[in-house]
Amino acid sequence: MDSEDDMHDANDVESLEDFYSGDTAASDDDERDFDFAKSDDSDDETFHPQRNYTILSEDDILQLQEEDITKISTVLSISRIQASILLRHYNWSVSKVHDAWFADEESVRKAVGLLEKPVVDPMLNAVEVTCGICFETYPRYRMSAASCGHPFCCSCWTGYISTSINDGPGCLMLRCPKPSCGAAVGQDMINTLASEEDKQKYSRYLLRSYIEDNKKTKWCPAPGCEYAVDFVMGSASFDVCCNCSYNFCWNCTEEAHRPVDCGTVAMWILKNSAESENMNWILANSKPCPKCKRPIEKNQGCMHITCTPPCKFEFCWLCLGAWSDHGERTGGFYACNRYETAKQEGAYDEAERRREMAKNSLERYTHYYERWATNQASRQKALSDLQKMQTEHLEKLSNMQSTPESQLKFITDAWLQIVECRRVLKWTYAYGYYLPENEHAKRQFFEYLQGEAESGLERLHQCAEKELQVFLDAAGPSKDFNEFRTKLAGLTSVTRNYFENLVRALENGLSDVDGHGACSRTQSSKSSGSKSKGGRGKGATSRYESTQWSCKHCTYVNVRSTTECEVCRQRR
Amino acid sequence: MQASRARLFKEYKEVQREKAVDPDIQLVCDDSNIFKWTALIKGPSETPYEGGVFQLAFAIPEQYPLLPPQVRFLTKIFHPNVHFKTGEICLDILKNAWSPAWTLQSVCRAIIALMAHPEPDSPLNCDSGNLLRSGDVRGFRSMASMYTRLAAMPKKG
């Protein structure tokens, strides 16, 4: 099976040569080709970066924690319990513990509450001791004390510990109940004095603390996922793929959003949830009642508006004047020429223009949001399709086409690529929304790349979805299957290249368009008839001129001369 | 419940026994409910509260002494850490720094100490806190002593 040639044939993409540079050159047989497509390739790094993080299961976490405790305990010659308290105090940083301890052991001991010897020892010279909490007197074998020696009876200790544990993770910093004492209470006391349930809670908090208080580890944010991630600081990419298959950004713990930066994503998410769009809608589609100022949407009917009770003010929609003023003088009830006259005089320009602009900015946002949300939904669908593929269809297909399942990996690869591309594409719409309107060259280049990537992805998705179905529905082996294989594998690889280009360009801030003629090239290539979807984006936004700017907070499009937003009054 | 009752009873007996020890504090248990106490405390000397007698109300939770009692001023007082309307007190040992080794008696002592040393940086009474923070000690003192005279001293005539 000579994949190279077939691929070219199968994909009648006019610009294929440009993007198809040497990716498949190394492969002669299918087996190798598919392994190759998976990883290891240096080109591949944009999508599967070298792992700069480790996924930790609960056992791994416990083991790491134990190792750190052992390290501290041996180096400082203190008990493991004390080492654990010390590490927690310094957010589980072994080096910080070392630094602090060797700089000033005494003050560290004092701050953390690790006493070298008891401050009181009443238990030696008395047979009976009074508990400092319940004030009962007990024989001393029924008393317990932390390293300080302040005695409390066991049932008071149990209550004290239990109250603290049920109050939250603060129990990890529990101190002797005596005010002003401050001796630390360690896990050894918890284990001898607390109930089974409380003990478990305590060790849970201890485990969580190791992940949550440590700067280089975080829990996977996927719901129900119990893995943690240990991240190597200073790595180029923040993308983390957890063992539970959830992709997220290490930096902001939102869903992975490469190549778009965390700031843009945060703005976009805030925007999607914010009320500002409602406000824009109200501004664009309603007018306030001239009397009671409540916004009124005019959805049909004549210009004679009667505000809802209790206001009941009757007014003209066009001029917002009282309806009682309308009549012969104004050119008849249904031809309010006062409006036209006033408009000519410029009286309504300001408000009208404002409404128009708000309407435009709402449309613009809707445009990007729609595409963002559609890709999101499409990705979810692709994920479930992939799952279905892996659990049902592959086996069926393997039997039907008499092909080992290992050789059907190209189908899984295609779907994985689709899922990843949908994610990237989705975020490019957030990127596009925030790309300044006046950077024409960048916008065009971006929309070109996005359009190319999107149309490539549509072809791939279509092929993986529809054309595969034919083989699933077929009764027996089909001789076209090999052709399908080369086509799908080819499309996968082409689409991956498109997206790599897109990601790379966005990551370096579209800097390619500054300076050389990339822009004009892309323009001509675009007009030469690729059915680029980016064109849609362009069509919807081209009416914005560089004489305007869009407010980051409420998206209202302002004239360039203003320095603060006319709607929300935030500074540019 | 039983543990808190036992502990409160011990405190009650202690209070009866040591009545004369601290003349500034007079703790009284409610006749019918051992979980309700009141206290009369004397305003510390050399403060604008001097000469006043302030009444405190204690509501004691069933988990006492593992949880702190809820204490508030019944007497109106002008103090940065006491809510002017409700009498609620902002004091760390009544919140997160509570220890079961504290007693009602020691809480009263802590409140007297708070009266002598207000913490204007975490105010419940912002007007009072602002006076101190802006350095207007005289203004603060005259307001506080006016309210002491109005609310915490026996009415003349």
Among B66, B91, B102, which would you mutate to test the A interface (most chain A Cβ atoms within 10 Å of its Cβ)? B66
Q: How far is it, in rounded angstroms, from Cα A3 to Cα B132?
A: 83
Q: Are strands A228-231 and A239-241 parallel, antiparallel or unpaired?
A: unpaired
Q: What is the pLDDT of residue A103?
A: 93
Any catalytic annotation for residue B29? no
Q: Which of A135, A162, A179 sits opposite B10 (nearest CB)?
A: A135
What does the pLDDT read at residue A528?
A: 37
Q: What are phi and psi of A351, to 5 degrees?
A: -65, -40
Amino acid at B21: V
Check residue A300 and give its pLDDT: 60
* ipTM reported for the complex, 2 dp: 0.85
DSSP state of A46: G
CA distance B66 to chain A (A): 6
Interface contact B101-A177, CB threshold 8 A = yes
In whole angstroms, give the CA distance from residue A244 to residue A353: 51
C-beta separation of B56 from B111 below 8 A: yes
Give the residue numbers of A marked as catalytic.
302
Beta-carbon contacts of B54 under 8 Å, excluding residues fewer than 6 positions away, are B40, B41, B42, B43, B73, B74, B75, B77, B115, B152
Looking at the DSSP bridge assignments, the partners of residue B72 are B57, B88
Rounded CA separation B91/B46 (Å): 21
SS3 of A180-236: CCCCECCHHHHHHHCCHHHHHHHHHHHHHHHHHCCCCEEECCCCCCCCEEEECCCCC
What number is the average pLDDT over the span B81-90?
A: 90
Quick check: A178 contacting B, CB < 8 Å? yes
* A133, A155, A163 ranked by CB distance to B101: nearest: A133
Indicate the length of chain B as a whole number: 157
Helix (H) or strand (E) holding A239: strand A239-241
Q: B120 Cβ partners below 8 Å, 6+ apart?
A: B80, B128, B129, B130, B132, B133
Q: How far apart are CA A55 and CA A61, in angstroms?
A: 10
More confident residue, B48 or B22: B48
How high is the pLDDT of residue A80?
Answer: 93
Strand partners, A549: A558
Q: What whole-number distance in Å separates Cα of residue A74 and Cα of residue A57?
A: 26
Give the C-alpha separation, B54 to B41, whole Å.
5
pLDDT of residue A275: 57
For Cα atoms A419, A425, A429, give the angle at the middle one, nearest 5 degrees.
145
> A129, A133, A137: which to substitute to probe chain B, counting the most B Cβ within 10 Å?
A133
- Tally of helices (H runs) and strands (E runs) in chain B: 4, 4
Residue A279's pLDDT is what? 61
The pLDDT assigned to B102 comes to: 92
Given this model, what pLDDT does residue A81 score?
92
Q: CB B10 to CB A163 under 8 A?
A: no
What token pair was written down for A159?
């209550």
State whether residue A177 sits within 8 Å of chain B by CB. Answer: yes
Q: Pick out chain A residues at pLDDT < 50.
A: 1-49, 331-334, 515-545
Token pair 């009549």 in the structure block, residue: A327
**A143 lies within 8 A of chain B by CB:** no
Q: What is the pTM of this model?
A: 0.63
